[in-house]
Chains A and B, each alone.
Chain A
Amino acid sequence: MVDVGWYMGLAAALFMIGALGILLRRSALVMFMCIELMLNAVNLTLISAGRVLNDLNGQVAVFFILVVAAAEVVVGLAIIVAIFRRRATASVDELSELRG
């Protein structure tokens, strides 16, 4: 058996990589993928914790997160496409008019 800590560590690493990816990449699509990475890291954490605590609710929670993530991707990608039609760019840096 593998210690739970390893799983948590892996999840943490995945999460961190995803977070840094959001901050460093300009393309909206890649940022989205990094968000998916982070969500997966959280799912992994939940499953592992459910296993340690002998609780099935961890998996139930993951289920819901999966569904919501799917819905979010749908809408998010629709927005990106709509923006691309207007401005011919997928770069997040171009969308900076809400500034002080």
Chain B
Amino acid sequence: MVDLLWLVIALPLAGAVFLHFFGRYLREPLGGLLASLAIGGAFVVAVIAALPFFEGGEHGTVILLWQWMPAIGANLEILWDPLAAVMTLVVTGVGALIHVFAIGYMHGDGRFSRFFTYLNLFAASMLTLVLAGNYAMLFLGWELVGLCSYLLIGFWFTRPTAAAAAKKAFVVNRIGDLGFVVALMLVFTTFGTLSYSGIFERAGDQLTTGMATAIGLLILVGAAGKSAQIPLYVWLPDAMEGPTPVSALIHAATMVTAGVYVIARSAAIYDLSPVAQTTVATIGALTAIWAASIAIAQRDIKKVLAYSTVSQLGYMFLAVGTTAYVAGIFHLMTHAFFKALLFLGAGSVIHAMSDEQDMHKMGGLFKKMPTTAVTMGIATLAIAGIPPLAGFWSKDEILASVYARGGWFSFLWILGLVTALVTAFYMTRQWVLVFLGEPRWGEDKHPHESPRVMTVPLIVLALLAIVGGLINTPFFTTLEHFLEPSFELVSMQHPPEDGLLVLILAGLSVLAAVGGIAVAFVSYRRPRERWLDFEHGFGPLWGTWEAAYRVDDLYGATLVGPGRKAAELTAFGLDLKVIDGAVNGVGRLVRYAGDWTRTLQTGYVRNYGVLFLGGTLLIVIWLVAGGM
């Protein structure tokens, strides 16, 4: 089955190509069904191909698809190892569920088939990224997912805000990509190849600490762009302009995890640079608490989830920065389950509320849409970290590993703990505001439960959110064994050995979670004026959180504004006046020269006679001079 792995990429790609040309002839659900089948097929292939890894100890194979640029080690080759398998299963599995959900969500849209074209293209791109056997192919996938993100965020491009958001996402990503490309250049100059097989084994011998730090930091720049960490996270909240399935798939479960994946994949390089590791972890922790504080005060249901994603990605970065790679990938997986569930649930709510997204105008929806309410409640508990749901196990493993590292990381552990509290708070706030209390919506809204094509994926994801964590508890470290062969060359951080310490740490995080839930529940399970008072009780702080610390304004003033002025200067000052001026000036010069020369043509023969004589004289002089 391993030699059929190319199908994993080929099926969604074929779906995209087919829908691109023939999608417009298909009636409504057909395009969506086709796309879902494509990615579902990819999932099946991936499962079967991953079976050997379940026994553990299997190292993985490299499958060459096509020779692209062999001289620099950049071919189209698949590295099928446990890490790639985990990522592929998450992408195809969660992706398939989201495809099915989208069939219901995008019902009635004029460009229904085109949406699925882009979704399938995205899936193919993400799988290229994840299955790549060298940095070049990874970068190919990296750029393609960026493109698909742009296409999908701006799917409703007639809305100016959507078009602007798509542009912003692409541009901010580009900044990260610059760092990434420089990192690839450094990798190439050090190793002479971009192929994983030529790099990771030799890393210990050929990399100096300085070079490893440089590469590590530059990869972090790229990862920060793609995975929305400080300072390049600003595109993710704006990306909520896209349809909700897009937010679920790309900006929660898959594309944004590419940064985490790339760092985990490059573990051999990070192994040699404690500085790079610490930087990654610190950025992750700071981003986690920064974004969580912003999420507290958001009114838009999707913006809460967007900042929540940024915050949870911070957790993953914290994990891989501490070299707790298994913990990071574990959280990536569980986060995909409950975040996708949360987004799809939010989509269900928005759909039912006729595109209303302001939580202040919701409330009391539990009776109207019980399935959505219950599944979202499960997801809320999962993300808050309540055992035995998935989020608890993964988040706790991260926090325990960070604590075990000690030193500076102890401070980061505190940040992580506080973030857990805040996370529980704002997620509960969201759930209470949406589903409990008195209805605050107008007469024009008729909320109802969503059709089965939308609720079934919700239920499946909820089940995964419940049991998904059990694959890596301190009692059954299945995932760790699964992933071991991918990380056997590097030193990996683990949770402390001492069982009691682990228990205490777990208890602390559960306490934080429960505390957050309690505060939120009590504060918001009240009439509207009371919780408005609660919010105002924070004074100007609440407004600052709601405005996301005005970071966008800061960037606008320092970067975008001057950038635009520079562009205007170049376009209208340099290009128009100088370059066009020079070119036009040449034209003018020629015209003036022509005008002057024209004056020689007086029409008088006697003037011409003078010219004759003068010319003849010159020739005579020249001949005489030549003869001398």
A and B interact physically: yes
Q: Are B604 and A96 in contact (CB under 8 A)?
A: yes
Q: Are B606 and A100 in contact (CB under 8 A)?
A: no
A92 partner, pick from B599, B602, B605, beta carbons under 8 A: B605
Q: In the complex, which residues 46-100 of chain A have their Cβ closer than 8 Å to any Cβ of chain B? A: 92-93, 95-100
Q: Are A97 and B605 in contact (CB under 8 A)?
A: no
Looking at the assembled complex, report how far the CB atom of A98 sits from the nearest CB atom of chain B, in whole angstroms: 5
Q: In the complex, which residues 573-628 of chain B have their Cβ closer than 8 Å to any Cβ of chain A? A: 598-606, 609-610, 613
Nearest to A99 among chain B residues (CB) is: B603
Chain B CB within 10 A, most for which of A24, A26, A93? A93
Q: In the complex, which residues 159-190 of chain B have their Cβ closer than 8 Å to any Cβ of chain A? A: none
Cα(A100)–Cα(B608), bound, Å: 13
B606 partner, pick from A22, A97, A98, beta carbons under 8 A: A22
Q: In the complex, which residues 14-61 of chain A have their Cβ closer than 8 Å to any Cβ of chain B? A: 19, 22-24, 26
Cα(A99)–Cα(B608), bound, Å: 11
Cα(A99)–Cα(B602), bound, Å: 5
Q: Number of residue pairs across A and B with beta carbons under 8 Å?
A: 31
Q: Are B598 and A92 in contact (CB under 8 A)?
A: no
Cα(A96)–Cα(B601), bound, Å: 10
Looking at the assembled complex, report how far the CB atom of A44 sits from the nearest CB atom of chain B, in whole angstroms: 18
Q: Are B600 and A100 in contact (CB under 8 A)?
A: yes
Q: Are B606 and A93 in contact (CB under 8 A)?
A: yes
Residues of A within 8 A of B604 (CB): 92-93, 96
Q: How many residues of B contact A (CB 8 A)?
A: 12
Chain B CB within 10 A, most for which of A22, A95, A100? A100
Cα(A18)–Cα(B605), bound, Å: 15
Cα(A15)–Cα(B204), bound, Å: 98
B598 partner, pick from A93, A97, A100, beta carbons under 8 A: A100
Provide the B475-505 mask, 1 if CB < 8 A to any CB of A, else 0: 0000000000000000000000000000000
Residues of A within 8 A of B610 (CB): 23
Nearest to B594 among chain A residues (CB) is: A100
Looking at the assembled complex, report how far the CB atom of A76 sits from the nearest CB atom of chain B, in whole angstroms: 13
Residues of A within 8 A of B601 (CB): 98-100
Q: Are B599 and A100 in contact (CB under 8 A)?
A: yes
Looking at the assembled complex, report how far the CB atom of A15 sits from the nearest CB atom of chain B, in whole angstroms: 11
Q: Are A96 and B609 in contact (CB under 8 A)?
A: no
Residues of B within 8 A of A26 (CB): 606
Q: How many residues of A contact B (CB 8 A)?
A: 13
Cα(A94)–Cα(B329), bound, Å: 99
Residues of A within 8 A of B606 (CB): 22-24, 26, 92-93
Residues of A within 8 A of B603 (CB): 95-100
Cα(A92)–Cα(B599), bound, Å: 19
Residues of B within 8 A of A92 (CB): 604-606
Looking at the assembled complex, report how far the CB atom of A17 sits from the nearest CB atom of chain B, in whole angstroms: 13
Residues of B within 8 A of A19 (CB): 613
Q: Are B598 and A22 in contact (CB under 8 A)?
A: no
Looking at the assembled complex, report how far the CB atom of A14 sits from the nearest CB atom of chain B, in whole angstroms: 15
Nearest to A16 among chain B residues (CB) is: B613
Nearest to A22 among chain B residues (CB) is: B609
Q: Are A95 and B598 in contact (CB under 8 A)?
A: no
Cα(A96)–Cα(B603), bound, Å: 4
Residues of A within 8 A of B598 (CB): 100
Nearest to B613 among chain A residues (CB) is: A19
Cα(A23)–Cα(B601), bound, Å: 16
Residues of A within 8 A of B605 (CB): 92, 95
Looking at the assembled complex, report how far the CB atom of A97 sits from the nearest CB atom of chain B, in whole angstroms: 6
Residues of A within 8 A of B600 (CB): 100
Cα(A92)–Cα(B604), bound, Å: 7
Residues of A within 8 A of B613 (CB): 19, 23
Cα(A26)–Cα(B609), bound, Å: 12
Chain A CB within 10 A, most for which of B600, B602, B605, B613? B605
Residues of B within 8 A of A22 (CB): 606, 609
Nearest to A19 among chain B residues (CB) is: B613
B609 partner, pick from A23, A93, A97, beta carbons under 8 A: A23
Looking at the assembled complex, report how far the CB atom of A96 sits from the nearest CB atom of chain B, in whole angstroms: 3
Cα(A60)–Cα(B604), bound, Å: 36
Cα(A92)–Cα(B376), bound, Å: 105
Residues of B within 8 A of A100 (CB): 598-603
Residues of B within 8 A of A97 (CB): 603
Nearest to B605 among chain A residues (CB) is: A92
Cα(A97)–Cα(B604), bound, Å: 9
Looking at the assembled complex, report how far the CB atom of A85 sits from the nearest CB atom of chain B, in whole angstroms: 20
- A sample of 14 inter-chain contacts (CB < 8 A) reads A22-B606, A22-B609, A23-B610, A23-B613, A26-B606, A92-B605, A92-B606, A93-B606, A95-B605, A96-B603, A98-B603, A99-B602, A100-B600, A100-B601
For the complex with contacts A22-B606, A22-B609, A96-B604, 13 further pairs of A-B residues with Cβ separation under 8 Å are: A19-B613, A23-B609, A23-B613, A24-B606, A92-B606, A93-B606, A96-B602, A98-B601, A98-B603, A99-B603, A100-B599, A100-B602, A100-B603
Chain A residues packing against B (C-beta within 8 Å): 19, 22-24, 26, 92-93, 95-100
Query: Top 8 nearest A-B pairs by Cβ distance?
Result: A99-B603, A96-B603, A100-B601, A100-B598, A23-B609, A96-B604, A92-B605, A22-B609
